[in-house]
Amino acid sequence: MKSAKLFKALGGVVAVMVVCTPYAQANDTLASSVAANPGSSAKAARAADKQLARAVRAALASTRGIDVSGIAVRASGGAVVLKGSVPDAAQIDKAGDVAKGVTGVTSVTNKLVGAPHQGQGR
């Protein structure tokens, strides 16, 4: 009687081990593939951010009434930051609106400032 209980318990342990082994191997395979290419997703994200910044800069450059010579564009995961200066304050809001209209932009932080007027005496 005791040997029958021992065999049942042993059979249960073996069954659990058989079921868990393929699961553990599958997880090891996934972990090793992620470990083999840890920078590939980061590299792709940087490339996408660079492409989005270029698209925003191109949209700003093609918009009449915006001088892009003093504007720097940064992008990270769809969030765009505009920094620098523009000749007149009206271009600040216009640049932000143009950036928001670019495909892939999820938010815009507009840190543009109007350049001080040259040639004014005191």
Q: In what order do the strands lie in the sheet with 71-76?
A: 71-76, 79-86, 107-114
Residue 52 to residue 82: CA distance in whole angstroms: 13
Residue 24 to residue 38: CA distance in whole angstroms: 21
Q: Please report, in tens digits, the pLDDT of each residue of the chain (122 residues total).
A: 566 665 565 555 555 555 555 544 444 444 454 455 556 798 999 999 999 999 999 999 999 999 999 999 999 999 999 999 999 989 999 999 999 999 999 999 999 999 776 555 44
pLDDT reported for residue 5: 65
Q: Which residue is listed with tokens 């990270």?
A: 76
Tokens of 105: 């932009």
Residue 58 to residue 55: CA distance in whole angstroms: 5
> Backbone phi, then psi, for 106, in 5-degree steps?
-100, -25
CATH architecture of 40-114: 2-Layer Sandwich (3.30)
pLDDT reported for residue 40: 77
Could you tell me the pTM of the whole model? Answer: 0.64
pLDDT reported for residue 21: 53
